[in-house]
């Protein structure tokens, strides 16, 4: 399948290493190398794709003991395994190399948690408490910026009018105005709940102010969001093992349970949009939680393989 | 390319259209070079990239990364089709195909394999690789940090990539 030599591959690797340097600027020499032999281009394409594949492969590895950071990584090692550590997956620091939009003006790195795990990240003037199954990108050069692709996190931000904290999600940009707020995102939906201060959604355009005690939800595929009330005490309640719902769809409840418990939880199509009101307590572990949920819903909650399924009424 | 006035980066694309197209062709984009450039043009309009110090270099990098994305997604599609025809055979109506293999098991084995490769590199090489690949530290800073020469850093990085890419390829060939 391959028509290039080992030497060409070595050269392709050397280019990849050089290009990873943010100041790399020698694209014309690179182009000349590519143009010199069609096999060069194929060797590079294959090697660059394999290199990109490494992002995922490297996200779960542990590094040699002597190589552990004595460096200034801003991650506080207060990860606590929760509910007896349902999953033995590791919290991983991965590289955000695939994000070409961010290159090179931002210097991003990512922090992620597996389902059932929690992690606290402290930046200058900002505390991020990550729930399970959450992936967030931070900028080494800008401590007032974060990007969240999926998951749930509680942000406690010291407001600085000159440098507002800015959070990008796939659906909106959120800017703090002195704030504690929780963001849940993924699968095209966004949920923002503010317990202190105020957050501005998409500032500059038709900016929406979301003050304390309000929740802003953007459903999948919708362009406009909805505001509703939220009790400030309920924001971030997952940290104390409780999930509060006031009309959220069961699909959201299932996603939250999976995130918090570390086991796959799904919901039947028929029940996915059914609204749920109530408090789910997470104490005791997976089985008691699911049993209580079944009672609350008045609907079967069944084990299915390694996970659980919430069935319709 | 559309009605909206071009943003700063878009103007740079328009001014360097031929150059970027030539690069994309060299990169193997062939007939799709125009498409990739159009894609880039649309993306830079929505990218909140902040000020870019060297716009043309930024665009080369972005074009290069887009080409990697396209190559990977095409390869994944081909693999999926291959997997289906290998594993499932002809699809019968009203009957679901075989379930895919246990992905979590495969992922665990793969992780163990990568871990073994890294462990085999030795502490210095693994540390240099981590500082470069995960933490994004420049080579000369790594050299200073670890008190080794720049050529040692380069040689270690090549060795680490070589080993990991060989491992990556061995998974595909199973």
| Residue B81 and residue B14 share a domain | yes
Q: Could you tell me if residue B54 is inside a domain? A: yes
- Region B41-63: what's the mean pLDDT? 77
Residue of A nearest to B69 (CA): A49
CA A76 to chain centre: 17
Chosen for mutation from B29, B130, B141 (greatest number of chain A CBs closer than 10 Å) is B130
- Give how far the C-alpha of residue B54 lies from the chain's centroid of Cα atoms, to the nearest Å: 22
> Does some domain include residue B31?
yes
Q: What is the pLDDT of residue A167?
A: 86
CB contact under 8 A, B52 and A105: yes
Cα distance from A241 to chain B (closest Cα, Å)? 27
Query: CB of A1 within 8 Å of any CB in chain B?
Result: no
- Confirm if A119 and A79 have CB atoms less than 8 A apart: yes
pLDDT at B25: 94
B115 in contact with A, Cβ within 8 Å: yes
- B88 pLDDT band, cuts 50/70/90, is low
Q: Does B126 contact A at CB distance below 8 Å?
A: yes
B3 occurs within a structural domain: no
The pLDDT assigned to A205 comes to 54
pTM score, whole prediction:
0.48
Check if the beta carbon of residue A59 is closer than 8 Å to that of residue A92: yes
Same domain membership, residue B45 and residue B69: yes
What is the distance in angstroms between the Cα of A88 and the nearest Cα belonging to chain B? Answer: 11
Residue B1 lies in a domain: no
- Residue B156 maps to a domain: yes
B162 with B126, same domain: the answer is yes
Cα B137 to Cα B135: distance, rounded to the nearest angstrom: 6
Contact B67, B29 (CB under 8 A): yes
Q: Are residues B129 and B82 in the same domain?
A: no
Average pLDDT value for chain A: 77
ipTM given for this complex: 0.84
Is residue B93 included in any domain, yes or no?
no
Q: B113 and B82, same structural domain?
A: no
Q: Which of A44, A56, A53 is nearest to A19 (CA)?
A: A44
Half-sphere exposure of A261 (CA within 13 A, CB side): 26
Most confident of A45-54, A118-127, A265-274, A277-286: A45-54
Same domain membership, residue B109 and residue B78: no
**Are both B12 and B82 inside the same structural domain?**
yes
Please tell me the number of Cα atoms within 13 Å of B173 on its side-chain side.
8
DSSP string spanning A25-81? --HHHHHHHHHH-HHHHHHHHHHHHHHHHHHHHHTT----GGGS--S---B-----B
From A216's Cα to the closest Cα of chain B, the distance in A is 23
Q: Is the pLDDT of residue B22 over 90?
A: yes
Q: Which of A57, A65, A100 sits opposite B66 (nearest CB)?
A: A100
In this structure, are residues A76 and A120 in contact, taking their beta carbons and an 8 Å threshold?
A: yes
pLDDT at site A58: 84
- pLDDT by residue (tens digit) across A231-275? 887 888 888 888 888 778 888 889 889 888 888 898 988 888 888
Tell which of B42, B60, B88 closes a domain: B88
Evaluate whether residue B98 is within a structural domain.
no
Tens of pLDDT, residue by residue over A165-222, are: 888 887 777 877 667 888 888 777 888 888 887 888 876 656 778 888 888 888 777 7
Which one of B60, B88, B116 terminates a domain?
A: B88
Question: Which domain does B56 fall in, by range?
Answer: 8-88
What is the interface size between A and B, counted as CB pairs within 8 Å?
A: 146
Q: What does the pLDDT look like over B119-130, one tens digit per residue?
A: 889 888 998 998
- Cα separation, B163 vs B119, in Å, equals 11
Q: Give the domain CATH number at B138.
A: 1.10.10.10
Q: Are residues B117 and B160 in the same domain?
A: yes
Q: Which of B43, B64, B88 is the last residue of a domain?
A: B88
Q: How many folded domains does chain B comprise? A: 2
Q: Percent of chain A scored above 90 by pLDDT?
A: 12
B160 and B108 within one domain: yes
CA pair distance A215, A114, nearest whole angstrom: 26
Closest by alpha carbon to A203, among A159, A164, A242?
A164
B116 lies in the same domain as B165: yes
**Residue B107: pLDDT over 60:** yes
Residue count (chain B): 174
Which residues of chain B neighbour A102 with C-beta distances below 8 Å?
Answer: 49
Q: Do B60 and A58 touch (CB under 8 A)?
A: no
Residues B108 and B158 occupy one common structural domain: yes
Asked if A168 is an interface residue toward chain B (Cβ–Cβ < 8 A), one would say yes
For residues B92 and A243, what is the distance between their CA atoms, to the nearest angstrom? 44
Instruction: Note whether B83 and B15 are same-domain residues.
Output: yes
Q: How far apart are CA B42 and CA B88, in angstroms?
A: 39
Residue A140 contacts B where some CB pair is shorter than 8 Å: yes
**Nearest residue, CB atoms, B57 vs list A27, A34, A51:** A27
pLDDT in tens, B144-156: 888 888 899 999 9
- Lookup: tokens for A70: 């004595």
């Amino acid at each position: 399948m391959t028509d290039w030599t080992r030497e060409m591959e070595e050269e392709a690797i050397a280019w990849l290493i050089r290009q990873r340097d943010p100041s790399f600027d020698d694209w014309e020499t690179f182009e000349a190398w590519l143009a010199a032999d069609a096999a060069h281009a194929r060797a590079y394409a294959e090697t660059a794709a394999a290199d990109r594949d490494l992002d995922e492969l490297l996200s779960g590895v542990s590094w040699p003991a002597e190589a552990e950071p004595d460096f200034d990584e801003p991650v506080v090692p207060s990860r606590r395994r929760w509910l007896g550590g349902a999953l033995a997956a590791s919290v991983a620091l991965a590289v955000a190399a695939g994000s070409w939009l961010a290159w090179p003006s931002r210097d991003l790195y990512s922090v992620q948690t597996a389902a059932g795990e929690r992690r606290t990240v402290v930046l200058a003037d900002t505390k991020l408490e990550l729930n399970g199954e959450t992936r967030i990108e931070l900028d080494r050069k800008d401590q007032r910026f974060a990007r969240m692709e999926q998951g749930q996190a509680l942000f406690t931000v010291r407001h600085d009018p000159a440098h507002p904290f800015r959070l990008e999600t796939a659906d909106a940009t959120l800017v703090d105005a002195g704030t504690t707020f929780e963001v849940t995102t993924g699968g095209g939906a966004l949920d923002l709940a503010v317990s202190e201060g105020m957050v501005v959604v998409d500032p500059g355009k038709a900016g929406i102010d979301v003050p304390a005690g309000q929740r802003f939800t953007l459903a999948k595929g919708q362009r406009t969001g909805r505001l509703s009330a939220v009790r400030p005490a309920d924001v971030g309640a997952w940290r104390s093992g409780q999930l509060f719902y006031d009309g959220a769809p069961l699909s959201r409840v299932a996603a939250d349970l999976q995130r918090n418990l570390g086991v796959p939880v799904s919901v039947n199509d028929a029940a996915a949009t059914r609204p749920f009101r109530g408090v789910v307590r997470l104490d005791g572990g997976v089985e008691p939680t699911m049993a209580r949920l079944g009672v609350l819903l008045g609907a079967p909650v069944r084990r299915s393989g390694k996970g659980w399924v919430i069935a319709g009424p | 390319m559309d009605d909206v006035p071009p943003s700063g980066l878009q103007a740079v694309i328009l001014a360097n259209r031929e150059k970027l197209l030539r690069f994309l062709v060299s990169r193997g984009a062939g007939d799709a070079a125009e498409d990739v450039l159009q894609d880039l043009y649309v993306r830079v309009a929505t990218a909140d990239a902040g000020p870019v110090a060297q716009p043309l270099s930024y665009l080369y990098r972005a074009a290069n990364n887009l080409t990697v994305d396209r190559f990977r997604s095409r390869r994944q599609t081909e693999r999926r089709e291959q997997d289906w025809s290998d594993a499932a055979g002809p699809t019968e109506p009203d009957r679901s195909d075989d379930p895919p293999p246990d992905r979590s098991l495969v992922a665990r084995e793969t992780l163990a394999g990568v871990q073994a490769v890294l462990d085999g590199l030795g502490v210095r090489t693994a540390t240099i690789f981590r500082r470069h690949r995960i933490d994004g530290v420049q080579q000369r800073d790594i050299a200073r940090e670890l008190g080794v020469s720049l050529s040692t850093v380069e040689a270690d990085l090549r060795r680490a990539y070589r080993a990991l890419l060989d491992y990556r390829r061995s998974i595909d060939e199973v």
